[in-house]
Amino acid sequence: MRVIVKIGTSSLTSDSGKVNISALSKLVSEVVAARTQEHEIVVVTSGAITAGVQKLGIERPDEPEILQALSAVGQIDLMRAYGEEFGSHGVATGQVLLAPHDFRDRNQYLHAETTFEHLLRLNVVPIVNENDAVADDAIRYGDNDRIAALVANLLRADLLVLLTDTPGVLTADPRIEPSATLIEEIAAIDQAIEEVAGTAGSRGSGGMASKLAAARMASWSGVRTVIAAADRPEVLAEAIAGISGIGTAVPAREARVAARKLWIGFAVTPHGQVTVDDGAAEALSRSGGSLLIAGITRTDGTYSQNDAVDIKNLAGEVFAKGLVAFDSDTMDKWKGSRAEELPAGISPVAIHRDDLVILEEP
């Protein structure tokens, strides 16, 4: 199998911010064991920012720009720790820094795919981290969870394993509800599930909500996901074996979404919303066509050409997302207009079908 395994900051670092060598050693040993069974493993890691905070001996700041700078400091120690641990098993590692933006551009996408394939053929374990130091919106993407899902799509993986500091998705926050129990399988990630997911942890930017978002992305990529505790014995081997109850499993959808549409749907922040009439909502969902400006009844927010927007039906439900052909002022001025009513130079297509992804049936 080809497996993407992601470990979060809270599972990889101590309260002081230092890399937890015991936790890292456990992960490395399980990856090495999986490789002896001829599985291909790619590791996606968090922890660079927290390691940078500890290295400089400062309080973790809130400003994204400073957090990005700190990641550049911590990344060195984090990769050194991985290299030493894998090296003790005679296994070589290679660092790959990515950002969600890399999955939008076709050439970048293909270059990344080629790099991964060569590393795997060379019997090297790729160690992936989000390129926090330079990536736009890097700190807000969910602590590498979405990167892991995008890599699973890129490499057509069989399995995504998200290792965290809880047993999986629970029925409630155990700090509030001690009787909360593990949800062993989630057939579909809906609002009810998202409401019990919680928020970001204290040492990382991820949390159960971002892991569910990543699992949803992976599912749309045709990849099964297991969310489980990093400290569970043999967790990677059991996830690969498909043993139930070791965490929360999210099955793959039959239809696989292309990487660019996955990026549009789940990895880019919307800058506004457009509301469409019933006819447009039906046409988008059933025929997979483009969104015409004639079908738009309302626009909210301020956005520029090629920004992402959520698409709502008349009931106010977001069912799609896309990259707009116009800025918000132009969209607002001509919304609801038929092609013959538009001036020269204004296309009737507000969002082209290649830039649009259907998230839910309206």
| Closest by Cα among 23, 14, 50, 16 to 230 | 23
Q: Which CATH number fits domain 270-358: 2.30.130.10, 3.40.50.970, 3.30.9.10, 1.20.1430.10?
A: 2.30.130.10
Is 37 in contact with 191 (CB distance < 8 Å)? no
pLDDT of residue 143: 63
Is 271 in contact with 323 (CB distance < 8 Å)? no
pLDDT of residue 48: 86
**Interval 205-250: pLDDT, tens:** 457 888 888 998 899 889 999 999 999 999 999 999 999 999 999 9
**Interval 329-356: pLDDT, tens:** 999 999 999 999 999 989 999 999 999 9
C-alpha dist (Å) from residue 316 to 183, 319, 320, 322: 29, 9, 12, 16
Beta pairing, strands 159-164 & 2-7: parallel
pLDDT of residue 132: 65
**Interval 123-166: pLDDT, tens:** 999 999 987 666 655 444 456 888 899 899 999 999 999 999 88
Q: Buried (b) or exposed (e) across 215-245, using 16+ Cβ within 10 A?
A: bbbbbbbbbbbbbbbbebeebbebbbeeeee
Residue 273 has pLDDT above 90, yes or no: yes
Spatial separation of the C-alpha atoms in residues 17 and 113, rounded to whole Å:
32
Write out the two tokens for 91. Answer: 């296994």
Spatial separation of the C-alpha atoms in residues 18 and 74, rounded to whole Å:
10
pLDDT of residue 137: 53
| Closest by Cα among 164, 161, 153 to 236 | 161
**Interval 284-341: pLDDT, tens:** 988 778 999 999 999 999 999 999 999 999 999 999 999 999 999 999 999 999 999 9
pLDDT band at 82 (very low <50, low <70, confident <90, very high): very high
pLDDT of residue 191: 67
Spatial separation of the C-alpha atoms in residues 202 and 93, rounded to whole Å:
29
**Interval 84-117: pLDDT, tens:** 999 999 999 999 998 777 777 778 888 999 999 9
**Interval 188-200: pLDDT, tens:** 776 677 766 654 4
- CATH superfamily entry for domain 2-261: Acetylglutamate kinase-like (3.40.1160.10)
Bigger pLDDT: 272 or 345? 272
| Closest by Cα among 35, 70, 67 to 52 | 70
pLDDT band at 267 (very low <50, low <70, confident <90, very high): confident
| Start-to-end C-alpha separation, the chain | 36
Q: For residues 222, 228, 230 and 232, what is the CA-based torsion angle, rounded to 10 degrees?
A: -130
pLDDT of residue 61: 86
Spatial separation of the C-alpha atoms in residues 44 and 49, rounded to whole Å:
15
> Domain segments of the chain: what residues?
2-261, 270-358
pLDDT of residue 204: 43
